[in-house]
Copies of this chain bind each other. A is one copy, B any other.
Amino acid sequence: MLSRRDMLSGSIAAALAASPLRAAVSFDEKGKGFELVGPGGAIPLFVEPGDFAGVLRAARDLAADVERVTGTDAPLSPMPDQPRMVLIGTLGKSPTIDRLAATGKIDVAPIRGKWESYSLQTVRDPLPGVKEALVIVGSDKRGTIYGIYDLSQNIGVSPWYWWADVPVVKRDRVRISYGRYFQGEPAVRYRGIFLNNEAPCLSAWTAEKFGGMNADFYTKVFELLLRLRANYLWPAMWNNAFNEDDPKNGPLADEYGIVMGTSHHEPMNRAHKEWTSRRPGNGDWNYVTNRPAVQQFFREGARRSKDRELLVTVGMRGDGDVAMEGTGGIKSDVALLETIIADQRRILQEETGKRIEDIPQVWVLFTEVQKYYDAGLKVPDDVTLMFADDNVGYIRRLPTPQERATRTGGFGVYHHMDMNGGPYSYKWVNTNPFPKIWEQMNLALEYGANRIWISNIGDLKPLELPIEFFLAMAWNPKAVTKERIAEWTQLWAAREFGSTHAAEIASLVSRYAKYNAWRKPEQLRPETYSLQNFQEAERMVTLWQGLRKRAEAVNAALPAIYRAAYYQLVLHPIRGCCNLTELLVAAARNSWFAEQGRASTNQEAAEVKRLFGQAHQIRDSYNRDLSGGKWNHLMDQTYIGYFDWYQPTQDIPPPVSELDLNDVASFGVAVAGRTQAWPGFYLPPSLPTFDSLRGERNWIEVFPRGKRPIAAKVSASEPWIMLKDEAAFSTSAADRRYWVDIDWTKAPDGKSEGSITISQGDDATSVSVTVNAIKATAEQMRSAKGCWGSLSGPFSIPADAFDRKVPAGNVRWEAIPDYGRVEAAMSIFPVDAPSIADPAKAPRLDYPIFVGETGEWTFDLVTAPTLNVNPAHQLSLALWIDDGEPQIVSVFTPERRETEEFLGAAHDHDSRTDMRIMRFKAAIAQAGRHRLSIAMVDPTIVIESIIAYRDKLPDSYFGPPSIRIGEPTRS
C-alpha cells in the first residue's frame, strides 16, 4: 500500500535533482496536464534518426522507463505523426526540433548556445497531425539526454533503479502540467567519478557478471552517470586498460556522451597497463632514459581518441601511481615536467589536427606533484589545473585570484571518498557524511575551482549516496545549501523508499556516515574508545546499537519491494558498523578484563569470536542473498585488522586472551577512570570527583576472578553516596556494575570525602574506594547556571553553544548543521573573506563558562582538519578570556612549512581522528563565571567544540561530554 505522500514522489525527485519539473508531474487519476501515460497507455516517442546516437539511446531508455512505470510500452515512432507524442531532439541536430523553434512553437532562447541545458515544454498542435506534444529539447547532446532522464526520474525511475535495485512504483497515470520548463547550465562543467581501488570487489563482480570491465559493464556506468547528470569518467585502471580491455569501451563512451579521462597519473588517454603490458623501448616509464618509446606511447594515445570527446591528462608520475623518479633536484625535475607537457601538447596538435586551445587538458596536482607547481612549474594557461585533496576529502589548495585571472583552462578538484594508500585506506562502506563533502566542495566553488570535479569513489557501490550528493552539488549547488542538506537527504530517502519512512531513513543514513567519519571503520582498533573514561566505549556501542535497532524497525515496516534497496543502501552498513564496534569493544574488554583477572575475560573472547563470525554473515548476506546474488563480490572488501595502510589479505579478528581460571570465589573491583583493578594495585582506588554542577554519576564494577560465583557486599560510608546495582558493561551477567551517584540534597557544600567498601563473607579481603564530591554553594549555582564548566575537572563546549555572535560587516560565523562530532559546527562565511589580523575587529563567538579552579587552563579547540587552501593564510584563530589579551594560534606557520612534510607533521594523526586540536592556554585568576571569546583571523576553519582542562585530561577519543550547567543530561 502506498500512502498519499508516496504519490508525490515525482515532485520529490524533481526537488532532489534540482529539476525544472518541480511540482509538474502528478500521478492522479484526474487532473489537467499532458498525459504521458493515460487510460490508453503510454504515448509514442519520436527522435529524429539523425540526432546524436546518445540521444536516440536515451530516448529508448525513456521508453523502457515508461514501461517500468506503467507496464505498457511507449512505442518509438519512426515519424512525428501521432496525435499525442513526446518529441525529443537537440538544437541544431534535429530538423524537427529546429522547425518547432523556428516557428515559435517552442521557446529555446533560454537554452540556445548553453552548455548541457534543456527544456521540457508542452505544445498544442506542434506539427501537422500532432495535436499535443511534450517536447524535450537540449542545447547540446547531453542537454537533451539530461532532459530525457530528468523526465524519467520525475515519473518515478530512480537513477539507481538498476544499480541499487530501487523499485519503480507502478502508475496508471502520469501527467505533466502544461507549461515550459527550463534547465540552465550546471555550476561545474565536468562532473565525474573515478572508478578506483577496484580490487577485490569491482574486479571480481565484473568478472562474474560481465566477464570483465567490458562494454556491457561500462554502459551500465555511463547510463548511471547520465541519469545523475554527470558527464566525466576516469575508468578503472588497476590492472585494467579501458580502451584495450574491450575496444568498444571508448567508442561507446563517446556515443553515450561520457567525456573520458584517464586518472591523474595516466597521461595522454592511455592506461598505465598499456605501458606495463608492453614496456616498449628499454621498458622504463622514464622520460629521461626512454624518451622515444614514451613519446611514441603518447602519440598512439592521441591518435586513437582524436575524434572522441576527451579531457586529456597531461604531465607524468612515476611507474604505477607513485612519485616520479627524481632527476637530482627540484629544479631539473620541474624543467623535465615542463618539457614533457610541451611535448605532449605538440603531439596532441600533430595527431588531432586541432588547435591546442580546443583540446581540453588537465594536469592533476596529486600528492608530490603539487610541490613542482609550488616550485614554479609553468603550465600553459589553457590547461585546467586540478588541485587534489589529501586523500581523505580535505582540499590542499585552491586558486588564488591572480591564478583565476590568467588561467583560461580554469581549475578543478580531485576528491576522494575511497582510498587505497596514505594516510590510510578506507574501502569498505560509506564514510562520507554530506556536511563534510559540502563544506569542502563549497570552498571549491567559492574559490573558483569549478571546471572539473571528480571524486574517487572506489568500486562505485556502496558509495551510492555520496556520489549522488557530490554530483548534485556540482550540478546546482544552490539547491544543496548547508541548511538544506537534511532536506535533500530526506527527499532522497522519499524518492527511493517512499515518504512514510523518509525522515527516519534520512536520519539513519546521515547518522551512520557521520559516525563512520569520526573514525573510519578501517582505522578503528580495540583501544580507540576509552573503557575507563567518560563511559566512552559503551556510549559508542549504545549509539550504534540504537541506530541498528531503528534501522531494523524500518526494515520490518517497509513494503517488501523496498527491502533489497534498503539492505544495500541503509541496513547493511549499519549492521556492519554496529557489529564492528561491538566486536572491537568486546576485544578491548577482553584485553582489559585479562589485566584485571576477570573470570569473564573468557566470555569476551567468545563474544569476539561470535561477532567476528557475524561480520561475515552480514557480508555474505550482501554478496549471496541480496537480489539473488546480483551483487556477489561487491562486499568482498576486507576491513577488520588493518595493520598498515594497505588492506589485510583476509579479515583478521582482534586477538584475544583466555585465562586459566582457579577454582576459587574471589572478587575484583574496577573503578571508572582507572586502568588498574583491586585487589592487585598497591595504591588505593578512587572515583573521579563528583561535581554537583555537572551532575555526572560514575561506576565501580565488581566481578569474579575465579570459577566460582562471588557474593560481594558493597556498601557506602556516607548517606549522600547512592549505589545502584546493574549489569556491568560485560558479556557476563556475573559482572556487576554499581552506579555511584551523589544525593546532593544530603551532601554538604564544598568538598566531601566518603568511601565504598566491597567485601565478601568471611574473606578478610576488602577493597575501599574513595569517593570525593564537590557541591556548589547556592551562590555558585546561581552564578554558574547556563554556563559550560565545572567545579573540578575538564569540560567541553559545543561550538554552537555561544551566547553571543558578533559579525564584522558581512563576515560572520555561521553554523554548518550536523557537522563532525557535534550537532553544528561553526565556520566563517563568506568562505573567501579576507583575513582580519586584529581579533577585536573580527567576527567573534562568546561562550559563558564557569571554572571552580584557578590557574592556567588549556583550551583545545577541536576543529576539522581543513588544509590551507589559500597559501597566503596560516589558518589562525584567536582566543581569550574576559577582557584578556587574545592568544593567536596558527596551524600552518612559515616555520612549519620549512620543517614539516607538505601536509604538516600532524596530518597523519589528524586525518585518522578527522579533527585537529588548536591548543590555547589562558590563566584564570579567579574562580567563577567568565567569558570565553573566539575570533576569526583566517577563514576556512571549522570549529566543532572546545575542550577545557586544567590538569591532565583523561585519555579518551572524544574528551569529556558537553553538559550545560543547570541542564544536566544523562545518556
Contact = CB atoms under 8 A, between A and B. Distances in A.
Interface string A630-668: 000000000001011010111111111111111000001
A649 B682 CA distance: 12
Interface stretch (A336-344, A608-616, A792-800): A608-616
- Copy number of this protein in the oligomer? 2
A957 to B, nearest CB: 20
A25 interface: no
Interface in A673-721: 675-677, 680-682, 705
Contacts of A649: 596-597, 668, 677, 680, 705
B656 A650 contact: no
A263 interface: no
Interface stretch (A49-57, A352-360, A587-595): A587-595
Contacts of A616: 660
Interface in A700-757: 705
Nearest to A652: B594
A702 to B, nearest CB: 15
Contacts of A650: 597, 659-662, 705
A681 B643 contact: no
Interface in A561-592: 590-591
A462 B471 CA distance: 73
A605 to B, nearest CB: 9
Contacts of A591: 655
A609 B659 CA distance: 10
Interface in A369-397: none
B680 A657 contact: no
A320 B682 CA distance: 10
Nearest to A677: B649
Contacts of A654: 655, 657
**Which of A320, A653, A657 has most chain B Cβ within 10 Å?**
A657
Nearest to A594: B652
Interface in A36-74: none
A654 B659 CA distance: 10
Contacts of A597: 648-650
**Which of A644, A659, A681 has most chain B Cβ within 10 Å?**
A659
A783 B650 CA distance: 51
Contacts of A655: 590-591, 594, 654-657
Nearest to A420: B682
B659 A652 contact: yes
Given A656-B655, A656-B656, A641 B594 contact: yes
**Which of A597, A650, A656, A682 has most chain B Cβ within 10 Å?**
A650
A262 to B, nearest CB: 19
Contact of A653 (B613, B652, B659): B659
Contacts of A652: 594-595, 657, 659
A632 B668 CA distance: 25
A679 B191 CA distance: 35
Nearest to A653: B657
A680 B595 contact: no
A562 B677 CA distance: 43
**Which of A648, A649, A660 has most chain B Cβ within 10 Å?**
A649
The 6 A-B pairs at the shortest CB distance, nearest first, are namely A597-B649, A655-B655, A594-B652, A655-B657, A597-B650, A595-B643
Given A613-B660, A650-B662, 11 more contacts: A594-B641, A594-B648, A595-B644, A595-B652, A597-B649, A649-B668, A650-B661, A651-B659, A653-B658, A654-B657, A655-B657
11 contacts: A590-B655, A595-B643, A597-B649, A612-B660, A646-B681, A646-B682, A649-B668, A649-B680, A650-B661, A652-B657, A656-B656
